[in-house]
Amino acid sequence: MSATTRQDPARDTLDALRRRFSPPLALVYGMNGSGAIEMTGEGARVRLSDGRTALDFGSYAVTLLGQRHPGVVAAVRRELDALPVSTRVLGNGTTAALGEALAAYADPERLTRVWLGLNGCDAVEAALKLARLATGRTRVLAVEGGYHGKSLGALAATWSTRYRGSLGPLLGGVDHLAPDVAAVPGAFAGEEVAAVIVEPVQGEGGVRPLEPAFLRALARAAREHGAFLIADEIQTGLRRCGPRLVSTDAGLRPDAVLLGKALGGGVQPLSAVLATEELYAPLTADPFVHTTTFSGHPLGAAAGVAALAAVEELAARGERLSALLFSGLARLARRHSGLIAGVRGRGLMWGVEFSGAAAAGDVLLELGRRGLVVSPCLGRPEVLRLLPPLVATDEEAEEALAVLDGACAAVPEEFRRAPAAPAAPAAPTAPAPPAVS
């Protein structure tokens, strides 16, 4: 290896990504990092190859506990020294412990069964499959604007045409309804419905909290028609939006809750389906009707147990950060009203909508240069997501808001429209502020 290679890891990495993965992907990574790559992380910060640090308020909601949370890292290290890979033919105590922890965490009276995967798509596929097996029906209802993954089954429930493209036909029998109470009765007409799948706050769809009245009407109709209600909380759960689970906190009584992203504590890939006895019945009768090689992987299970405990320890911190972000983002929306079209979200999940996709792209690049990592909405490119970790300090939250303020101020004038008087935002309420429009 040459001295040049040793001194410029970013160039080698981006070249390898370009050769072995995708030239456009390497270009995006290079632009976002201003030519640097990520090297190490701790807490709310990531250190880059050029010596800079960046606040991690993105990572697509995975780092709810920040980078390398010590409790999660220690749990995984202990498991690594014990049994890092299950035999898959013997029982595993760490996997069983995660099942117990998840059942106790959500709704121990109803959501008593657990299935484990590695990512959100795993959980979506398992839940839809169980619903079809348990009901003998094939029709599924999803919500316009929703995102449930890009594997072929999950993709059928995802709304964005950007991902669906020319891949049809997808999983048959999936229909989408508008997120409107008036659309609910007609959606159940015709063929009987096996399941309804919904994100209580649409993440990839632009960080859009769905109206409580709509969610209640959807849940009620599902029960009346004998369909299972699947709450996709892969991004919203585990106090990302304030409560442990948005769906159970809202009284929706889902038949399944899907978890992922932050469930592995930012250290291991992990997802889960928490289900009622009725929905889970096909797996109870035949545990091999849906399996994956790494379901219940011991390292992931150890991370999950530690992550659940850490999230609860930091719950009050999340409320404090939520209030800071609510007031700060409302202030920025007023200051940059010609650029920011709206701010939406709750808890530690916020979307800033700009005047257009080009404006959002310019802000994203400027944030990278100034040291703030956020997550774009690929299906709604005019929206950037701020997904801060529970471990962020007040000072780091204020720093992130200041960086966003500076990035907005640096946007060229052609991206700004004539400013309109913004609507006064509602006052924040515990445990999570309401949406700001």
pLDDT of 364 over the 50 cut: yes
Instruction: Give the pLDDT score at 433.
Output: 39
Q: What is the number of alpha carbons within 13 Å of residue 88 lying toward its C-beta?
A: 9
Distance CA 398, CA 402 (A): 6
Q: In this structure, are residues 354 and 35 in contact, taking their beta carbons and an 8 Å threshold?
A: no
pLDDT at residue 183 above 50? Answer: yes
pLDDT, averaged across the chain: 93
Where residue 236 falls among pLDDT bands split at 50, 70, 90? Answer: very high
Least confident stretch, 58-67, 164-173, 265-274: 164-173
Q: What is the pLDDT of residues 265-292, one digit of tens each?
A: 999 999 999 999 999 999 999 999 999 9
What's the pLDDT band for 418 if we cut at 50, 70, 90? low
Pairing type for strands 340-346 and 349-354 reads antiparallel
Whole-number Å distance between alpha carbons of 113 and 256: 9
What is the pLDDT averaged over residues 216-241?
98
Pick the residue with more confidence: 50 or 424? 50
Please report the pLDDT score of residue 422 as a whole number: 47
DSSP reduced 3-state for 226: coil
Q: Are 350 and 400 in contact (CB under 8 A)?
A: no
Tokens 């014990």 appear where?
82
- The kind and range of the H/E element at 42 are strand 38-42
Full set of structural domains in the chain with CATH:
9-65+315-415 (3.90.1150.10), 70-313 (3.40.640.10)
pTM of the predicted model over 0.85 = yes
Q: What is the mean pLDDT of residues 387-407?
A: 98
What would the mean pLDDT of 168-181 be, rounded to a whole number? 92
Q: How far apart are CA 65 and CA 412, in angstroms?
A: 35
Sorting pLDDT into bands at 50, 70 and 90, what band is 365? very high
CA dihedral 404, 410, 415, 421 (to 10 degrees): 60
| Strand order, beta sheet including 372-373 | 38-42, 45-48, 53-56, 372-373
Token duo for residue 375: 């997550």
Q: Which one-letter amino acid corresponds to residue 153?
A: G
Q: Can you give the pLDDT at residue 1?
A: 45
Question: What pLDDT shows up at residue 163?
Answer: 87
Average pLDDT over every residue of 47-66? 98
Please tell me the predicted confidence (pLDDT) of residue 77: 98
Q: Is the pLDDT of residue 436 over 90?
A: no
pLDDT at position 420, please? 52
pLDDT band at 6 (very low <50, low <70, confident <90, very high): low
Residue 433: count other Cβ atoms within 10 Å of its Cβ.
Answer: 24
Average pLDDT over residues 342-363: 97
With CA atoms as reference, report the closest residue to 431 among 332, 301, 264, 312. 312
**94's tokens:** 């760490």
Q: How confident is the model at residue 4 (pLDDT cuts 50, 70, 90)?
A: very low
Q: How far apart are CA 80 and CA 273, in angstroms?
A: 25
pLDDT band at 419 (very low <50, low <70, confident <90, very high): low
The arithmetic mean of pLDDT across residues 117-134, rounded, is: 98
Given a cut of 50, whether residue 158 has pLDDT beyond it is yes
Q: Is 309 left (phi over 0), alpha (psi -120 to 50) or beta?
A: alpha
Query: How many Cα atoms occupy the beta-carbon half-sphere of 203 within 13 Å?
Result: 26
